[in-house]
Structure 1
Amino acid sequence: MQLRSWQVITLLVAASSLLAGVELPAGARLGTAGLSLASGVSALALMAAAAVLGARWTCVEVAFGGLDRVYLAHKWIGIWALGLASVHLLFKAGVPEWQTAAILELPKGWPRLLRQLSFLGLMFIVLLALNRNIAYGTWRWWHKLSGPLFVVVVLHWLSFKQPLPLASPAGAWLLALSALGIAGAAWKLLLYPLLARSAEYRVVSITPGAAAIHMELEPVKAGIDFQPGQFGFLRMNAQGLREPHPFTIATGKRGDGRIEFVIRALGDYTNKLVADARVGMYAQIQAPFGRFARHRSARREIWIGGGVGISPFIAWLKDHATGTLDSVTLFYFYTPGRDFPEFEVMRAMAEARGAELVGVPGGGGDPAFGERFAAICREGDPAGIDIAFCGPKGLTPRIREQMRANGVPDANLRYELFEFR
């Protein structure tokens, strides 16, 4: 069972609200002051969880079923933390009848300053994360402030007068979450660049395409171990290209340790990478990440790749350890004139492994997709078809439409989230 965003949010908010409410007089639990206190405790708990998710710890990735899911949960946890912090700021978290005391005494004026900085910093970080018009490099460096911001939030909790002593269950809950969150933030900001799984590579070939490149790299020393379909963070050792950026590894395991990436110019960083990458450049790759693995036990498989989302399926096609792929149909969604790899290249690759390739140049409504999908379902048991998808999320409703129309259970669809921001 994999964790979902709503499960984590619900659990943390419910536990925080319950523990905070236990410490209050019975008549104050349902008032605005009680609401403000519970919201503040919940916001801190969610921010701690966000810091843990941002650390890229392997155990967290396994629990969520892949780093792509971790990033999605990270985004929604941040949004809910901002909403609850807004409620906390709107109402005063205290009444004269409460027995209150600060855990950490600070000079006059500092508790109020920390309160304001906590809210404004959180609002800035969340809005920054949701604004897709900000250049990736700018976003990445500003987002590094989320770790120090969490420390400010913890100091705010410790310094304001509250009815939650450290010896209480609520105090112990907040202390444990704060320690875990600070550990996660410190790991990501200070230790991760030094201790992350990574290897140095050199670019040995670049094949240009329509606003895209196919890049092959060889390890300088030892390469990284990965499973076909996983991705890594590529950091080129060149001016303007040093930002680590996630790309699917578009190759199966090879004896020489070489790996490949299919990179399309879709934003500021990838535009520059496609234009400036050269043979002989060195790169650092942090990997592997992701849990988008092929279900080899399935009797019938449908793979659906859209745009650069074709990359994991290229890796599966090149994974010769799996034998023939005569039970596989690969739907390749592409824009004519911008297909990369080109359709004929993909056709030859599929034929070499015994897989069927269906080109879909007309989008989700293309009859080539619906007709062949329905025919596959009529050929056997629709409930036994495993469907793997990677591509723009706008295709997901179309795929689910075809599944429902042809009796394929919703649970049979597995997909890699296409966007990290």
Structure 2
Amino acid sequence: MADDGLEALLGSNQRLQEADFSGLLDGLQEGAKDLGEPGLYLLLLLVAITLTRWVPYRYWRYLHRVMPLIYLALTAHAVLLAPLVWWQQPSGWLMALLAAGGSVASLQSLSGQIGRSRCYQGLVQAVRQTSTSLTEVVCEMSQRWPGHRAGQFALVTFERGEGAHPFSLSSADNASGRVNFQIKALGDYTRKLPQRLSRGQAVTLEGPYGRFDPDRGRRNAQQVWVAGGIGVTPFLAALEKRLVDADPARPAVTLHYCTAGAADDPMVARLQRLTEQLPEVSLHLHDSRQGQRLTADRLRLHDRRVDLWFCGPKGLASALRSGLKQRSLSLRFHQESYQFR
């Protein structure tokens, strides 16, 4: 696209000549030329839409499926128009390897093969709306379900037309095939889940994925867990895991739960029930409606070595990181990253 400027800067004799074919390949080369520039513009537009996130997910996921087609078109453009002598050089070998790998991945994406080997069928066993903004969904999975670790998530499909949504697994694995999800109403689809789901409805889970396991901290460090709102789900699974798999060697934990209204939050009662059975876990509630905002000074740190596991709003994480930088600590800040576009 910048050939005129490059020729003016470097001279026309510095430019390698495009491959010159005849017959069928010549026709393909002309088609590749036509695909290059519009394909690049379309790619840039889709990337901008993805980064700005102004298109709702239910529409964006269809736009995202165009990406592999654009990749294949631009690959054909490069393969057919790059000078033949260039493919005989190390840079050409590397490009050929990358183009082949990307083309295989694109074909897998277009044929729906990505994640298919990790899909498992099940049934919705129960749907409970525990508050105006929170729905608990219990699923019974088939015997093929491989089980999961605390802190993992799954891509859940309740309706084929809606597609998969990522939800954290909020229960520990007890080999029964039953899994729980705590789903917060963050959009039109999740807000209507209590009315759209029913007992016995088919569900597909892809996964489990993720490595956010609070019990994987250093044994010789103080363990601090911080949950904000629906970010409590991986910690619920971790607490249940402690009940199922008792291990006296596990270190004590200080759990901070931040909520915007403890009186109406069903998670408060559940956390209290779990921690009452776990004497090594101390629970501290922070209700923003009561002005009880969590800061670095309120983390109750008493050790120089600290493992802090965080799942919640980014603003709270940034504030805690900033406050902890002022201290002389051997700190490991584990933060759940939950962005899918």
Residue 269 of structure 1: how far off its partner (Å): 2.8
Q: TM-score, normalised by structure 1?
A: 0.70
Secondary structure (helix, strand or coil) at the match of 2:308 reads strand
Aligned letter for 2:173?
K
Secondary structure (helix, strand or coil) at the match of 1:192 reads coil
> After superposition, where does 1:148-227 map in structure 2 within 5 Å?
148-160=69-81, 162=83, 165-192=86-113, 195-208=116-129, 209-227=131-149
Aligned letter for 1:33?
L
For the 8 Å contact 2:143–2:177, the answer to whether it is kept is: no
> After superposition, where does 1:44-63 map in structure 2 within 5 Å?
none
Cα deviation, 1:348-389, whole Å, max 9, x if unaligned, reads: 2222222111112229x845544431xx32x3x22x211111
Residue 239 of structure 1: how far off its partner (Å): 6.7
> After superposition, where does 1:393-404 map in structure 2 within 5 Å?
393-404=314-325
Q: Does 1:306 align with 2:228?
A: yes
Q: Does 1:327 align with 2:252?
A: yes
Aligned letter for 2:157?
R
Secondary structure (helix, strand or coil) at the match of 1:353 reads coil
CA distance in 2, matches of 1:102, 1:409: 58
Q: Does 1:259 align with 2:198?
A: no
For the 8 Å contact 1:233–1:246, the answer to whether it is kept is: yes
Larger radius of gyration between Structure 1 and Structure 2: 2
For the 8 Å contact 1:94–1:162, the answer to whether it is kept is: no
Secondary structure (helix, strand or coil) at the match of 1:229 reads coil
Aligned letter for 1:321?
D
CA distance in 2, matches of 1:92, 1:276: 63
Aligned letter for 1:327?
A
Partner residue of 1:43? none
Residue 113 of structure 1: how far off its partner (Å): 1.4
Higher helix fraction (1 or 2): 1
CA distance in 2, matches of 1:195, 1:333: 37
CA distance in 2, matches of 1:339, 1:136: 29
Aligned match for 1:102, one of 13, 19, 35:
19
CA distance in 2, matches of 1:232, 1:296: 23
Aligned match for 2:270, one of 345, 348, 362:
345
Partner residue of 2:34? 113
Secondary structure (helix, strand or coil) at the match of 1:280 reads coil
For the 8 Å contact 1:212–1:265, the answer to whether it is kept is: yes
Aligned letter for 2:272?
R
Q: Share of identical aligned residues, percent?
A: 23
Residue 326 of structure 1: how far off its partner (Å): 6.4
For the 8 Å contact 2:217–2:307, the answer to whether it is kept is: no
Partner residue of 2:53? 132
When residues 387 and 194 of structure 1 are mapped into structure 2, their CA distance, relative to the original with a 3 A threshold, is closer
When residues 239 and 291 of structure 1 are mapped into structure 2, their CA distance, relative to the original with a 3 A threshold, is closer
When residues 199 and 178 of structure 1 are mapped into structure 2, their CA distance, relative to the original with a 3 A threshold, is same
CA distance in 2, matches of 1:339, 1:184: 47
Aligned match for 1:416, one of 306, 320, 336:
336
CA distance in 1, matches of 2:211, 2:272: 26
RMSD: 2.9
Aligned letter for 1:260?
N
CA distance in 1, matches of 2:149, 2:160: 30
Q: Does 1:232 align with 2:158?
A: no
Q: TM-score, normalised by structure 2?
A: 0.85
Aligned letter for 1:255?
A
Number of residue pairs matched by the alignment: 326
Aligned letter for 1:348?
R
Secondary structure (helix, strand or coil) at the match of 1:385 reads strand
CA distance in 1, matches of 2:154, 2:83: 45
For the 8 Å contact 1:262–1:311, the answer to whether it is kept is: yes
Secondary structure (helix, strand or coil) at the match of 2:88 reads coil
Aligned match for 1:317, one of 218, 229, 239:
239
Partner residue of 1:50? none
Aligned letter for 1:318?
E
> After superposition, where does 1:359-378 map in structure 2 within 5 Å?
359-362=285-288, 366=292, 369-373=295-299, 376-377=300-301
